[in-house]
Each structure stands twice: as structure tokens, then as C-alpha cells.
Amino acid sequence: MTDTSYADALILFGITGDLARRKLFSALYDLTAAGHLDMRVVGVASRGWDDETLRRQAREALEASGRPIDETVFARLAANLSYVSGNYREPGTYQAILEKLSGSVRAVSYLAIPPGLFEDVVEGLAAVGLNGGGRLVLEKPFGRDAQSATELNDIIHRHFPEGQVYRIDHFLGKEAVQNLMIFRFSNTVLEPIWNRHYVRGVQITMAEDFGIEGRGSFYDKVGTMRDVVQNHLLQVLSLLAMEPPVSDDPDSLRDERAKALSAIVAPTPDAVVRGQYVGYREEPGVAPDSDTETFTAVRLELDSWRWAGVPWIIRAGKGLQSTVTEAVVEFDRPPRPLFADADCRPSPNRLTFRTKPDDGISLSMQAKKPGPAMVSRPIDLHLEHDRPKGRDAYDRLIGDALRGDPGLFARQDGVMQAWRVVDRALADGRSVVPYSRGSWGPAEADALLGTDWRWLTT
């Protein structure tokens, strides 16, 4: 059962790391400004910082983000910040954390650290009693395959039951991704056509025009499939494919996401293409004979009453032609072309959900082309989201963890279903195929579309 009592403390393991500098300090500031972080915030890491160093680093991170700083808000945040320097494997570290918390009984522990340290931290928290009424927030990756994910869950569940575990995927905290659910289930016009009878296929793309950006030693152990497909993109698929939940209760939402993932048929080797951009092996930290993919395309099908026979194609990669993240739902063509030029058949309707480079939803329709001829032309009806200024997905997700709302976090069953799909996609052992930087990936991926379809993101 989920405890929805508000937390009384926040512990951030890995507070000296890159994620804290880029995202977490900003989220803490925004939560403080909104009045949601009036509690002790203890940062923990091995560096020899003290309280004042932590506060200075927080200010510098906020200044580097370019945001204006309200001194009253920052003073409130700084007053709550404190630091513990210690080894995650030393019992004294957790005793020092406990002393900083001043009698906390419902602390949220956020582990922004490598998964290899999770066991040490979970055991340390339990040793001083911080697991009893507390919650545990875990950064991805949740393992590197189904077996390691199972082992990781076993470690965590020794001291934190599933209802107290929050696996964070920042994609689910994005405004545009959350709007997938609102758009689907608050507009009755979509429901009659949101099925195999009217949808021709779905393409989900996460393309980046940059490479691994100095992260070679990390990325070469992970690859695109584990880095973004197993979590971000399969979560987007689940939001598009899920059945209407029985309520807006967090577990009702997660039930349907997990069901959608469980309906995915494990892909065959011919349904997976792994690519690697030319020059990747020369990147610092990358093995000279690396077979790690920087591009993945996979064709999936869902064995469900709603989606049987509809292709779902996921494409993700680095070093591609542009940076764009979007999902495109393409509908069937009309049964016969009317009002069409003899040499140009009208395009089918498409509904596009985009999160990069801008947030928005577009519906491609056909309307009359101006002039005397009775022919159609494509037009786009576009909704552009206004991103809340200065706010980020981490603000929303940390706030939800403090409130005890797990709706936008991954649950164990959903994570394991995603690993089932990814493990199968990686099991074939075929070598990566090369592609040029600035392209849309290897030509071999085109075969996943069949003979009468094309890529919808270009």
C-alpha cells in the first residue's frame, strides 16, 4: 500500500555529481519557491565538503543555469541544506546522516549514484532505521538486463517494500509526456479510432545530432538500447498503447502501463537493427573493437485486442541529422482517394506528439487547396505547450516522491516487462552496422518499414 503522508526530510546521495549540478539543485530551488521543501535536506557524498561548500555549490549551479535567483528563496533553501562527507560502505556515514535529520521519521532517500552502490546505501539506511517510514528514489539504470534487475529488486525489497520504492524516469515528468495521458483520455473524439481498425502504425523517435560528448567510458558499457529504449521510449509506447485506467489513482495508471508492456511480443532478430556511427571507436573511453550500438531501430507488435497487427517502430540514436523526440501515430488512408491530383495521393492523417526541440501536438489533416480545382492539400493543426518557466521534470518528480505519489514512477513489474523486450532484442548477437554522422542511421533500418511505409520523422 502507498503511504501518501508528506515527507519530513530529503537525503540526496551523490550530491556532488553532475546530475545534482545540472538538475537537482534547480529542482530544490523551485520546490522551495513553491513552498514544498520546508524540511531538512542532507547531501551525501565522499568529497570533503562541508555545509557552506554545499550551499556555495548550489548557488553556483543556479547561476550557471542562467536563472534569476530570489535571495529570499535561496536563503530558505540554504538554511535547510547540510552535508555529510563519508564512505557509503561505512556505518558511521549513516549515523552522521541520522544526527543531521533531527528526529525525522519519513525521509525520502534519493540515490543519484551508480547501481553498484545501491546495496551499500540500502543496508546503511536500514541499519539506522531510516527505511521504516521512508521512501527510496532510484535513478536509472535499473540493472542492465532482466537478471540484474531482479537481483537489484531483491536487494531493495529486503528493507523497502515496493510501495516505498520510486524508480525515477525523468521522461515521465516532462509536461509533453504527461499530456499524452490528458490528450488521450480527456478527448472522447480519439477513443473510437484509437485501435487497429484505424491506426496504420506508430513510430517513436529519439534522435540526437551530437555524439557521446565525453561519456565514452560510461556509454560503451550501455548503448542506446539500454540507455533510452528500455526506459524512456518504452514508457512512451506504454502511454500511447495503454487501456483507459479505472481511475486516476497512481496504481491504476501504473497497472495499465505495465499491461501494455506485457503485451509486447518479444522481437525476432530480423526486427532489430543496431548501428554505430563512424568514428565512435576513436572516442576517449571507447574500446577500439567496440560493438556497442549508438543507434537502435526495433519493430514491435502488441498482442492485444486493441493493437494486434499494428507495427510500433522505435528508433533512437546519436550523431544523427537532427535532434528531435516525438511519437507519430499514422491513421489509415480513406478507402478511396477523392479530391486528389492524379499524380499525388493525399497523405494519411497523422497525430504527432513532440517533446524536442519544442513541446507540441500536431494533427495533420486534408483541406481544400485554394483555387478552382477540387483537390486537397495537407494542413497541420498545432498545439504548442508553454513550458513552465524555470521548471524541470525533476521538480515535479521529487515533489511527487515527497508527497507519496508514485503515478509517474516506474514499478517493478513494468521495469521487468521492459527488460524482457530489450533482453530479447539484444540476444541475437549480430554486430553493429556503421552509419555516417549527420545521416538518419544505417540504411538497414529502412527494411523494418516494409515496402509501403516511410520514416515519418525527417
Ramachandran angles phi, psi of 346, nearest 5°: -60, 145
pLDDT tens per residue, range 303-345: 999 999 999 999 999 999 999 999 999 999 887 666 666 566 7
Is 159 one of the annotated active-site residues of the chain?
Answer: no
Residue in this structure with the C-alpha cell 520546490, named with its chain if needed: 31
Q: What is the pLDDT of residue 373?
A: 72
DSSP character for 264?
A: B
357 preceded by a cis bond (ω within 30 of 0): yes
Q: What is the pLDDT of residue 53?
A: 97
H/E segment holding residue 417: helix 412-426
Q: What is the pLDDT of residue 332?
A: 92
Q: In what order do the strands lie in the sheet with 40-45?
A: 81-85, 40-45, 9-13, 107-111, 135-139, 165-168
Q: What is the pLDDT of residue 369?
A: 76
Domains defined along the chain, listed by start = 9-139 (3.40.50.720), 172-389+409-449 (3.30.360.10)
How far apart (Å, rounded) are the C-alpha atoms in residues 130 and 125?
5
Nearest to 399 by CA among 2, 24, 1: 24
How far apart (Å, rounded) are the C-alpha atoms in residues 431 and 291?
6
Instruction: Report the chain's C-alpha Rg in angstroms.
Output: 24
141 preceded by a cis bond (ω within 30 of 0): yes
HSE at residue 379, side-chain half, CA atoms within 13 A, is 7
How far apart (Å, rounded) are the C-alpha atoms in residues 171 and 206?
12
Which of 36, 157, 159, 232 is an active site residue? 232
pLDDT, averaged per 10 consecutive residues of the chain (458 residues), comes to: 82 95 95 95 96 97 92 97 96 96 92 90 95 91 90 94 93 83 89 95 97 90 94 95 91 94 95 97 96 97 97 98 96 74 74 88 83 75 68 87 93 95 90 97 96 89
Q: What is the pLDDT of residue 74?
A: 97
Contact 140, 235 (CB under 8 A): no
Q: What is the pLDDT of residue 385?
A: 66
